[in-house]
Amino acid sequence: MTTIFFKIYRMNAKIIFIALLMYFSIQTHAQKIEKLLDYNLKETATGVRYYMLMKKQDSLWHREVYYIPERSIYMEGYYRDSSAKIKNGAFDYYYPNKKLKAKGSYLNDNEEGVGCGGMKTACFPTQLPTKTEY
C-alpha cells in the first residue's frame, strides 16, 4: 500500500514541478518586450529601421532602441510603464556612429536638471533624427 502511495506522490511531485517550471518561465518571458520599428518609432513589419527591447528592472522598464543597419544603439532610457509613455530616469540618444547626441533625465515624464548637447532639442530630443544625420 505504501509503495503505491509513494509512486502516486512522485508522479504528482513531477507534475507539480513541471507546472511550476512552466509558470516561472512564462513569468520571466513576460518581463521582456521586443518590437521592430519604422523611422517614426512605430511598430511595423515592413520598412524596419529600429529594433526595440524593453526589460522590466525592479519597478521600471528599461528601453533600448537600436539602429538596425548600423547595429548600434539609438537610445536608452527608463519608463514607468511598458507602453513607454512615462519617462523616468536617465535618457541617452546616440548618432548611428555611436557618438552621444543628447543626454537628459526625467522624473514622471518631466525634464529634470540640465541635459547636454548644446541645444535644448539636442538635450531632450522631441524629434527623430533626419536621414541626413545618418
Give the pLDDT mean for 2-18. 56
Is 124 in the same domain as 58?
Answer: yes
pLDDT digits (tens, 9 = 90+) for 99-125: 999 999 999 988 887 666 543 444 444
The pair phi, psi for residue 7, each rounded to 5°, is -65, -45
Is 39 in the same domain as 10?
Answer: no
Give the pLDDT mean for 4-12. 56
In whole angstroms, give the CA distance from residue 4 to residue 123.
70
pLDDT digits (tens, 9 = 90+) for 61-72: 999 999 999 999
Domain that holds residue 42: 32-133
The CB density around residue 26, as the number of other CB atoms within 10 Å, is 9
Is 21 in the same domain as 36?
Answer: no
103 contacts 117 by C-beta, under 8 angstroms:
yes
Helix (H, G, I), strand (E, B) or coil at 86: coil
pLDDT digits (tens, 9 = 90+) for 86-104: 999 999 999 999 999 999 9
Is 97 in the same domain as 61?
Answer: yes
